[in-house]
Amino acid sequence: MSRASGFDLPAFKALFTDERANLVLLARLSEASERYEDMSKVMRSLVEWTSTQATKPDLTVEERNLMSVAYKNVVGARRTACRALHAEEHKDNKIANLFLKQVETELENWCKDVIDLLQNHLLKNNTEETEARVFYLKMAGDYFRYLAEFITDQTYEIKARDMYQQATVVADKKLAATHPIRLGLALNHSVCLFEILKDKKSACELAKKAFDEAISKLDRIGEAEYKDSTLIMQLIRDNLALWSSEGEPAEAAL
């Protein structure tokens, strides 16, 4: 049997009339067809394209979200597989352990791919304290956290904490307490503290502070942002309830 051909981005580029617009179109098509590895490759190409431009244009909100969706789905599938393969019944099975190692290697490679885009392109080209910088720092923290979940000998947990802390400094200065990106950052940062760094006290304090500050200002935001903000606030509140109970924590994160 002949091997099916893979995604050939250069073939599409030969048809491009506007590289940025056409890459965004390809990303949307990849998302619609749930081809997230292809989507990630397209978004890498778009980020690299921005770095070649004299003005170093930032990604638009839509482009940022497309990149987030692409890598979250690719890495999320590997995180789910790793959790399944870490199950007790596979503990002493050599074949299962080899399979786990291969999946962990894939997870590490994809996480490093998006971290490279963030650190060597997007954060390097966006040094001002803006919403976009918070988004990118938070995203870097997320992918270091995903690495730290399964790979414990590379100080990924410290890198995750540092990215979240840097993002929090900017978010506290530049974003409203009800801003969905600031709330999402608080949610994921607190999960990192609780689950990865085992600093339960700081995790609860951070989550409670973010929730209390946001709820006191909910009457000041519009309808569109209200829905996104309250959804994240509910996740924060759920985590606080779990963390203060006697049961096993099952943290929610974005």
H/E stretch holding 159 reads: helix 156-174
Residue 104 domain-assigned (yes or no): yes
Tokens 């890459």 appear where?
23
The whole-angstrom separation of Cα 250 and Cα 238 is 10
Closest CA to 118 of 79, 145, 144: 144
The whole-angstrom separation of Cα 98 and Cα 228 is 41
Query: Contact at 8 Å (CB) between 163 and 119?
Result: no
Residue 73 domain-assigned (yes or no): yes
Mean pLDDT within 1-28: 85
pLDDT at 252 over 80: no
The whole-angstrom separation of Cα 230 and Cα 89 is 39
Residue 147 domain-assigned (yes or no): no
Identity of the amino acid at 228: D
Residue 141 domain-assigned (yes or no): no
Report CA 221 to chain centroid distance, whole Å: 25
59-81 per-position pLDDT tens digit: 999 999 999 999 999 999 999 99
pLDDT at 1 over 50: no
Number of domains the chain contains: 1
210-251 per-position pLDDT tens digit: 999 999 998 888 888 899 999 999 999 999 999 988 554 455
The whole-angstrom separation of Cα 221 and Cα 178 is 8
The whole-angstrom separation of Cα 237 and Cα 207 is 8
Tokens 């890598």 appear where?
71
Residue 112 domain-assigned (yes or no): yes
Distances (CA, A) of 39 to 8, 64, 118, 139: 12, 13, 16, 17
Residue 2 banded pLDDT, cuts 50, 70, 90: very low
pLDDT in the model for residue 152: 85
Residue 28 domain-assigned (yes or no): yes
Q: How many helices (DSSP H) and strands (DSSP E) are in the chain?
A: 11, 0
Residue 38 banded pLDDT, cuts 50, 70, 90: very high
CATH number of the domain that residue 91 is part of: 1.20.190.20
Q: Which domain holds residue 52?
A: 15-128
H/E stretch holding 23 reads: helix 19-32
pLDDT in the model for residue 5: 52
Residue 252 domain-assigned (yes or no): no
pLDDT in the model for residue 3: 43
Sequence-separated (6 or more) residues with CB below 8 Å from residue 211: 233, 236, 237, 240
Residue 178 domain-assigned (yes or no): no
The whole-angstrom separation of Cα 93 and Cα 99 is 10
Report CA 37 to chain centroid distance, whole Å: 15
